[in-house]
């Protein structure tokens, strides 16, 4: 598999890697594509296991009920464009480059955020880290609840969301969202506030690891055990990157592959295991 290939899942009918307001799009590498081919080899006679398995490997939450028609775009990048590892450090470097030296992202808060994600005990995962930083309750997030005070989200996190304004999913843009956070947020510039800005402005959801690996709480499709018997380590998936968001027409080469997701009522394998 060529290392020049990348892949991004998107809603069927989209004309760009991510909705146009996003600054960067999330992408899987050629190593992920190799795993997708392995999924097809194993479960080609059960196409929904391939389609849902890809979305799970990417890190989609809410797959028990996911019904949006979804495609997998496989593409090459324009000359000179490089994929970046989406660590927290990378995001803050990009923000420094875009907006200059600003007190909006204090080094102490950056450090506290990185440490919260790097000091997980054996039975903890990144959803637990998200809860530790933001207060948002793990169980409610996994049930599909939106961040709010009702599920325990703290004031810094919610204040950052409010200050940042609409996300690029809701007619906003990433750069405007970050600029809003920088100028409007009046609370403490702590790890929760920084996590809120990344969550709202660049789709760094509660399953995001901050280290360039995917993660999901569903069963790993390559581990033949129910999710209840899979370790935290076994639920980490493939390598993830960020690339500048672009229309498909601006990419040197791309193909769009519809994913067969089957019926939500037949996705018990997300919990009982794929094999």
Q: What is the pLDDT of residues 2-31, one digit of tens each?
A: 999 999 999 999 999 999 999 999 999 999
pLDDT tens-digit profile of 134-146?
999 999 999 999 9
* Residue that has been written with the tokens 């081919």 in this structure: 37
What is the CA angle 240-245-249, rounded to 5?
120
Contacts of 86 (CB under 8 A, 6+ apart): 24, 26, 204, 208, 210, 212, 240, 241, 242
Per-residue pLDDT of 204-237, as tens digits, reads 999 999 999 999 999 999 999 999 999 999 999 9
Q: Where are the domains of the chain?
A: 6-83+212-272, 89-202
């Amino acid at each position: 598999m060529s290392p020049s290939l990348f892949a991004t899942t998107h809603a069927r009918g989209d004309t760009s890697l991510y909705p146009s307001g996003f600054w960067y799009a999330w992408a899987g590498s050629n190593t992920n594509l190799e795993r997708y081919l392995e999924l097809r080899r194993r479960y080609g006679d059960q196409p929904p296991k391939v389609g849902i398995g890809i979305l799970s490997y990417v890190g989609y939450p809410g797959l028990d009920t996911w019904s949006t028609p979804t495609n997998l775009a496989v593409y090459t990048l324009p000359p000179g464009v490089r994929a970046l590892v989406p660590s927290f450090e990378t995001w803050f470097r990009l923000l420094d480059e875009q907006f200059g030296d600003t007190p909006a992202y204090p080094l102490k808060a950056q450090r506290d955020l990185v440490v919260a994600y790097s000091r997980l005990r054996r039975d903890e995962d990144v959803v637990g880290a998200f809860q530790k930083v933001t207060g948002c309750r793990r169980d409610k997030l996994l049930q599909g609840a939106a961040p709010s005070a009702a599920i325990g989200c703290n004031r810094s996190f919610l204040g950052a969301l409010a200050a940042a304004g609409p996300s690029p999913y809701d007619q906003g843009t990433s750069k405007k969202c970050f600029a809003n956070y920088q100028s409007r947020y009046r609370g403490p510039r702590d790890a929760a506030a920084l996590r809120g800005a990344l969550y709202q402005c660049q789709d760094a959801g509660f399953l995001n690891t901050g280290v360039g690996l995917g993660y999901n709480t569903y069963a790993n499709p390559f581990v033949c055990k129910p999710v209840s018997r899979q370790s935290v380590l076994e639920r980490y998936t493939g390598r993830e990157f960020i690339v500048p968001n672009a229309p498909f027409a601006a990419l040197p080469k791309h193909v769009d592959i519809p994913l067969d997701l089957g019926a939500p009522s037949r996705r018990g394998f997300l919990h009982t295991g794929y094999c």
